[in-house]
Amino acid sequence: MPHIAALYGLASPAIDDRMEDLSAAAERLGELELEFRFVDSEQNEEDLTAALADAIALMPNGAKHFRPLPVEQLPNLRLIQTFSAGTDYLDKAMLAKAGIDVANNGGANAVAVAEHAVGLMFAVNRKLAVQIDSVRNGTWDAGVTGARTDFRTLAGKRIGIVGLGRIGSRVAKRLAGWECDLVYTDVIDHDPEYVVATGAARVDLDELLSTSDIVTLHVPLDRTTRRMISDRELGMMKETGILINTCRGPVVDEAALIRALKSKQILGAGLDNTETEPVDQNNPLLQMSNVTLTPHEAHRAIESDYKAAEHAVMNIARVARGEKPDWVVPPV
C-alpha cells in the first residue's frame, strides 16, 4: 500500500512542475512506495479533511496560499515538509503538540540564496540598479548619479555574516576569493572544522555591526530574531555600511531602516524581502537610489527546485519507514 504525501496549495503550472519534480526524485531515489497527491487548499474543511485523511505528510507550496489545517481530524499526518528554508508561517508549537514535525528544505536553496546575497552586495556597492535604469531610460551614463565614494569594490572590505548556517557559510566560501575579511556571529556553536572551512572569524554581534563594511543576515524568523536589526543596531554600523537581507523581512525593523537610510546613517541596503509582501508601492524604499530591492526570489533557481524535491522525498520516506525526519525546525 503506498504512502500518501499531499502537495498543498492552489492549482497552477508551478504545482504541475512541483509534482513532476517529486515524481522524478522518487524514481531516482528508488522511493517508489510514495504516492504524491495535489490537494487544493481552497476547498471547504470537510472536503479538505477527506482529501488529507490518509496522508502521512503534507508539503505546502509556499506560505501565500497556506490555510491552517484541522490537524485533530488528521490522525495519519506526521510531517509538514516545506520546500523553503522558512517555516515562520506554520504554528510549530501547535503542530508539535499534535505529534506533527515541521521540517524545512535542508538547505536545498542555500547556494542560490548565497549567490543572491553576494550579488546584492555587488549591486549596492556599484549602484548597479541605477546604472541599468539609466541605460534603459535612454540617459546612458548621465543618469548614474552619486558621489565618487558611493561606488566601491568588495576587495579589502569586512563582511559580517549574521548566522553561519547553510546559507551564511556558503556566502563566506563564495567571498573567499574576493579578498574580503570575513567575520560572523551565531547563537549556535558550530564544529571547528566547519568554521575553518568558511574562513570566517567569530565575533559578537555588536563588534560585527560596528566594524563591518557589509552586514548580511542569514537567520530564521522567530520570536528571537523578529526586528533584531533596529535603531540601536543600525546606529552601531558604519556610515559607509551596507545592510543585506535575504532571509525574512521582519528580521529588520523596516521603519528604523528607512530612517537610517534617509539620514545617511548607513550607506545603503540590498533587500530580497520586506516586512509586508508584496511591497507597498508607497514604500519609501522603492524611491531610494541607495537601495537594491528584489521580490523575495533569491531562492529561485532550477537547481533549488530539484534539490528541494529530492530532500522532501527523502524525508517523507523516512517517516514512512517509522524513522525521525531530518531538518526538523524546533517550535521556537
Which tens digits make up the pLDDT trace of 245-266? 999 999 999 999 999 999 999 9
The answer to whether the beta carbons of residues 287 and 262 sit under 8 Å apart is: no
Residue 1, pLDDT > 80, answer no
Planar angle of CA 257, 260, 262, nearest 5 degrees: 105
Share of the chain above pLDDT 90, in %: 96
Residue 117 — pLDDT band, cuts 50, 70, 90? very high
* pLDDT value for 62: 84
Same domain? For 118 and 95 the reply is no
The alpha carbon torsion through 88, 93, 99, 101 (nearest 10 deg) reads 30
- How is 57-81 classified by DSSP, letter by letter? EEEES-STT-----GGG-TT--EEE
Q: How many domains does the chain have?
A: 2
Which cell goes with 42? 481552497
pTM for the whole thing?
0.94
Please check whether residues 217 and 266 belong to one and the same domain: yes
Of the candidates 251, 258, 266, the residue with the CA atom closest to the CA atom of residue 286: 258
User: What CATH number has the domain bearing residue 79?
Assistant: 3.40.50.720
- Residue 169 domain boundaries: 110-293
Confidence tier at 68 by pLDDT (50, 70, 90): confident
Question: Given strand 79-81, what is the order of strands in its sheet?
Answer: 34-40, 3-9, 55-60, 79-81, 101-103
Tell me which residues are annotated as active site: 248, 277, 296
Domain contains 332? no
pLDDT of residue 175: 97
The answer to whether residue 327 sits within a structural domain is: no
Residue 101 and residue 23 in one domain: yes
Q: Does 273 lie in the same domain as 230? A: yes
* 154, part of any domain: yes
pLDDT at 24: 98
Residue 325 confidence (pLDDT)? 98
Edge-to-edge strands of the sheet including 214-217? 201-202, 181-185, 158-162, 214-217, 242-245, 268-271, 291-293
Question: Are 111 and 170 within 8 A, CB to CB?
Answer: yes
Residue 181 is placed in which grid cell?
Answer: 575579511
